C-alpha cells in the first residue's frame, strides 16, 4: 500500500479540515460518520494521480478527490440498505446505526454535496466538463447496481453481461476519478480518453481480483470474511466460469448449491471452493484479470503525461491486480 500512503495522508488531512457539519445535525452526522470510517481512499488517490500525470500541484485536485469519495460513500450507504448489510469496515452500517430513513436522506444529500464540491471550484470553465463526467459515472453506478440486483433473480447470466455489470458498478467510477483529475489539470481530450480507458480497464481487473480474493484470499490480508460471495450465492466471474466449463454433473451440483439458502456456511464454502479449484477457475480468473491489465497498460502508454506520473499509475495497477489491496 506504500504507493497509496502519500495520497491517503494528503486526503485525510483535507477531510479533517473540511468536516461535514450543518443543520439539522441529524442529516449531517451520518455523513460525517461514514466519511470517517476509513478505507483505502483509492478513488481520491486516483483523482490526484490523474492530476499528477499533467501537473504537480496536487492540492488543486483535492476538491474533485473529495467529490468522488463522497459519491462512493453515498453509494455504500444506499447499497448497504438494499443489501441489508449490518457491518461496514468493522463498524455498524449507516442504516443500522441511524435507521433506514436517515440513511436514505443522508445518502441523498451526499450525492448533492459531491456535485456541489465540483461547482465550488474556482475555475468556472472546469465545472461543465467535470459535472458531466461526474453525472455520467453516477448514472452508470446506479445502472450497475440495478443489473447486480437483477442478476440475483436470473439463472442465465453470461460472462460478458457480468463484465458489463462490473464495468458500470465499479470500473466507471474508478475511471471517472482519474479522468476528473486529468481534466482538472487541463489535459487535452485525447489524453483524457486514454486516462479514462486505463482507469476503466484496471477497474475491471480490480473487481476480478476482488472476486478471486473473496474466495481464495488470505483472510488476514483481505480484511473481509473469506467465502462471503459463496454464502450469498453471488454470481461472480468464478461461478459463471465454473458453470461454463463444468461437466453436466458438476454444473448440476453447483446450481443446486447456488439455489439453496446456505445452511452450513463452512461446509458450503469448502465444497464450492474445491469444485472451483478442480475446474482450474483460479487460473481462468487470473488470465481474465491479466487480459484487462494488459489493455490498461496499453492505454496508459498512449498518454502524453509525465513519466513519474505514469510510473505511479503502473505501480498502482500492479498493486490492484496483485495480492494485498
Residues that bind a second copy (CB under 8 A): 22-24, 26-27, 78, 81-82, 101-102, 104-105, 107-109, 111-113, 115-116, 119, 124, 127-128, 131-132, 135-136, 138-139, 142-143, 145-147, 149-150
**Residue 60, preceding peptide bond in cis (omega within 30° of 0):** no
Complex with a second copy: residue 150 or 252, whichever CB lies closer: 150
Complex with a second copy: residue 133 or 185, whichever CB lies closer: 133
Q: How far is the CB of 142 from a second copy (least distance, A)?
A: 4
Q: How far is the CB of 75 from a second copy (least distance, A)?
A: 8
Complex with a second copy: residue 119 or 232, whichever CB lies closer: 119
Complex with a second copy: residue 135 or 301, whichever CB lies closer: 135
> Is 106:98 a contact under the CB 8 Å cutoff?
yes
Q: How far is the CB of 158 from a second copy (least distance, A)?
A: 15
Q: How far is the CB of 23 from a second copy (least distance, A)?
A: 7
Place of cell 466507471: 172
> Is 292:201 a contact under the CB 8 Å cutoff?
yes
Q: How far is the CB of 197 from a second copy (least distance, A)?
A: 22
Complex with a second copy: residue 101 or 278, whichever CB lies closer: 101
- Separation of alpha carbons 313 and 200, rounded Å: 13
- Separation of alpha carbons 254 and 63, rounded Å: 47
- Separation of alpha carbons 321 and 286, rounded Å: 9
Amino acid at each position: 500500500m506504500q504507493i497509496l500512503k502519500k495520497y491517503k495522508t494528503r486526503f485525510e488531512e483535507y477531510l479533517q479540515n473540511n468536516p461535514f457539519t450543518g443543520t439539522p445535525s441529524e442529516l449531517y452526522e451520518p455523513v460525517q460518520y461514514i466519511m470517517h470510517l476509513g478505507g483505502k481512499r483509492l478513488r481520491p488517490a486516483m483523482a490526484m494521480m490523474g492530476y499528477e500525470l499533467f501537473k504537480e500541484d496536487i492540492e488543486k485536485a483535492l476538491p474533485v478527490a473529495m467529490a468522488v469519495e463522497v459519491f462512493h460513500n453515498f453509494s455504500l450507504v444506499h447499497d448497504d440498505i438494499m443489501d441489508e448489510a449490518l457491518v461496514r469496515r468493522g463498524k455498524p452500517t449507516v442504516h443500522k446505526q441511524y435507521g433506514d430513513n436517515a440513511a436514505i436522506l443522508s445518502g441523498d444529500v451526499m450525492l448533492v454535496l459531491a456535485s456541489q464540491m465540483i461547482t465550488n471550484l474556482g475555475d468556472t470553465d472546469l465545472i461543465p466538463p467535470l459535472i458531466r463526467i461526474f453525472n455520467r459515472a453516477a448514472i452508470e453506478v446506479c445502472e450497475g447496481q440495478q443489473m447486480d440486483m437483477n442478476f440475483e433473480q436470473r439463472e442465465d447470466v453470461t460472462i460478458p453481461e457480468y463484465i458489463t455489470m462490473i464495468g458500470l458498478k465499479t470500473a466507471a467510477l474508478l475511471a471517472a476519478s482519474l479522468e476528473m483529475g486529468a481534466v482538472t489539470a487541463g489535459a487535452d481530450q485525447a489524453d483524457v480518453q486514454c486516462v479514462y480507458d486505463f482507469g476503466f480497464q484496471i477497474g475491471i481487473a480490480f473487481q476480478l481480483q476482488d472476486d478471486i480474493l473473496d474466495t481464495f484470499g488470505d483472510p488476514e490480508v483481505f480484511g473481509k470474511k473469506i467465502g462471503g460471495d459463496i454464502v450469498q450465492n453471488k454470481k461472480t466471474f468464478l461461478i459463471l466460469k465454473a458453470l461454463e466449463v463444468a461437466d453436466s454433473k458438476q454444473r448440476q451440483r453447483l446450481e443446486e448449491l447456488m439455489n439453496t439458502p446456505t445452511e452450513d456456511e463452512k461446509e458450503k464454502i469448502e465444497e464450492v471452493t474445491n469444485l472451483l479449484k478442480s475446474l482450474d477457475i483460479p487460473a481462468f480468473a487470473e488470465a481474465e484479470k491479466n487480459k484487462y491489465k494488459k489493455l490498461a497498460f496499453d492505454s496508459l502508454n498512449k498518454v502524453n503525461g509525465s513519466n513519474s506520473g505514469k510510473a505511479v499509475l503502473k505501480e498502482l495497477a500492479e498493486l490492484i491486480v496483485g495480492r494485498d489491496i
